[in-house]
Amino acid sequence: MEVLKIVNQIKSKRSFLCVGLDVDLEKIPKFLLDKDDPIFEFNKSIIDNTHMHCIAYKLNIAFYEAYGIKGWKALEKTINYINKNYTEIFTIADAKRGDIGNTSRMYAKSFFEQLNFDSITVNPYMGRDSVEPFLEYNDKNTIILALTSNEGSKDLQLISTANDYVFMDLIKSSKTWNNSKNLMYVIGATKTEYLEEIRKIIPDNFLLIPGIGAQGGDLKEVCEKAINHKVGIIINSSRGIIYSGNDEKFAQAAEKEAISLKKQMEEILIDSKLI
C-alpha cells in the first residue's frame, strides 16, 4: 500500500491506531468455542466493530500457526475478509521472517502473493540479502525489527559499536538496501529515549510502535518524539483492545477501547497541526 494512502486514511479517520489480532482460544469468550471457526468469528466481530477507528490490523502469525491447519484457514479467511470488505485498511503479517535469499523469497511469495498482506515484519539481523527479497515487491511494505521492547533487546540490539549501537548501525545500513523507501521499522514504545536520534536517521519512514499501555509505553511521549510531517507512526494495541470484554458484547467493548485510543490520537494530531 502506498504511504500516501496510509496518510490519507490517518487524516480521514483521525487515528493512527493498529489493532493486533492475536487470538488465543483460552482468552476469547467461551460461547465462541461452539462455532465451526471460533478464531475467524472472533476476528470478524472485532473487525466489524473497530475498522472505523483504526487504520491497520496486525495478525501475529504465531497465534494462528499454533492451531495447525485450522489456524491457517482462520488466518486466510480473516485476511480475505479484510481485503474484501475494508479495502482501505493496511494489513500487517506479523511473521518476523528472515532467512537466506531463496527462503526469504518464498516467505515473501507466501504472505504477499498467496495471502495478499500489504506488509510483513522481518527480522533483519541476518543482513541485506535476507530482507531484499521482500523489498522486490514495489507495492508492499517490509517492516524490519529495529529496536524492540523486550528485556532481551539489550543482548544484541543495544550493544555499543564504534559509533553507535547495533540497532542504529542496522538502521543506517538499511537505507542503502534496494527499494529502501518501502521500509518501515518496529520501534518499541518503551524505548523513547532513542526516538529522536532514530528520527534523525530515518526522518520520513513510518514506524510501527508496539508496547503502549500494558507493556508500559506512554502514547504522548512516543508521539512527541516520533511524529513527523506525514504523521509517520502506527501505534499497535492488541490485548488492551481485543480482550477488553469477555461476554456476548466483547466486540462492543473492543470498540469502546478503540474509540478511547482514537480520541487521544485525534487530540495529538490536532495539537501537532496535522489535521
Q: Catalytic amino acids?
A: 96
What type of residue sits at position 250?
F
Map grid coordinates 540497532 to a residue.
167
In the 3-class helix/strand/coil scheme, how is 88-125 assigned residue by residue? CCEEEEEEEECCCHHHHHHHHHHHHHHCCCCEEEECCC
Q: Where are the alpha helices (DSSP H) in 58-208?
A: 62-65, 68-85, 101-108, 128-135, 153-156, 166-174, 195-201
Q: What are phi and psi of 90, to 5 degrees?
A: -85, 125
List C-alpha distances in Å: 190 to 104, 108, 150.
Answer: 29, 29, 9
CA-CA distance, 186 to 162, in Å (whole number)? 23
